[in-house]
């Protein structure tokens, strides 16, 4: 199943001009899809992101990005693409656009969300989790930045139809704890 998801990452992307239905693109949730697919409908559409990176010295850097979410797998799954354009005030020489794409599929046997995530640096992670107290909590495991294996906790919270927030915490094996701060964003709806 995970191999299938990785293959789909390359084949189905909402950033393509016209999604190809033969590849599983869909305009709405499939009526036979698990009802839990509706839980992630807050990710569908285009959103503007205001990102926050907390540096080791305690200062913050804010940048903008875009998130595009769409139904895939014939309406049984959801794909999210984040597009981060280099901040010219931080990187005056330019730089590459950083893209992350994640596929979510509800695992009815285990009653949780599962998926896969890859980015333009070649990092690959598997994602599992679910809702806890109104928050979507997902654990990413795999190849993270700087080619190290590890895990992150993604928490989506303050979820409404037009806005949500995300916090990313990294797991530290030495202290057996999750980091506080680091990275996060506020997402506001740009289009339905």
CB-CB contact of 9 with 116 (8 Å) = yes
Q: Which secondary-structure segment (H or E) carries 61?
A: strand 60-72
pLDDT digits (tens, 9 = 90+) for 71-129: 998 889 999 999 988 765 555 555 677 889 999 999 999 999 999 999 887 888 999 99
Q: Residue 173: what are its φ and ψ, rounded to 5°?
A: -65, -35
pLDDT digits (tens, 9 = 90+) for 65-81: 899 999 998 889 999 99
**Total-model pTM:** 0.80
**pLDDT tens digits, 129-164:** 999 999 999 999 987 766 677 888 999 999 998 999
Q: How far is CA 187 from the centre of its chain?
A: 12
Both tokens assigned to 52: 């926050």
Sequence ranges of the domains in the chain: 2-191
CA 190, CA 184: separation in Å to the nearest integer? 19
DSSP conformation class of 97: P
Specify the CATH number of the domain 2-191. 2.40.128.20
Contact 14, 23 (CB under 8 A): no
């Amino acid at each position: 199943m995970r191999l299938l998801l990785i293959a789909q990452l390359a084949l189905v992307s909402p950033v393509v001009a016209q999604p190809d239905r033969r590849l599983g693109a869909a305009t709405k949730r499939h009526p036979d899809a698990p009802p839990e697919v509706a839980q992630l409908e807050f990710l569908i559409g285009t959103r503007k992101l205001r990102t926050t990176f907390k540096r080791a010295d305690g200062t913050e850097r804010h940048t903008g990005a875009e998130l595009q979410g769409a139904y895939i797998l014939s309406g049984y799954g959801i794909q999210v693409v984040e597009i981060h354009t280099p901040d010219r005030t931080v990187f005056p020489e330019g730089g590459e656009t950083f893209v992350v794409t994640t596929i979510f599929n509800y695992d009815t046997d285990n009653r949780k969300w599962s998926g896969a995530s890859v980015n333009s640096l070649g990092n690959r992670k598997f994602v599992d989790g679910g809702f806890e107290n109104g928050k979507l909590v997902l654990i990413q495991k795999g190849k993270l930045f700087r080619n190290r294996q590890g895990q992150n906790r993604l928490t989506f919270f303050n979820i409404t139809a037009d806005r949500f927030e995300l916090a990313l915490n990294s797991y530290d094996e030495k202290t057996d704890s999750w980091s506080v701060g680091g990275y996060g964003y506020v997402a506001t709806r740009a289009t339905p």
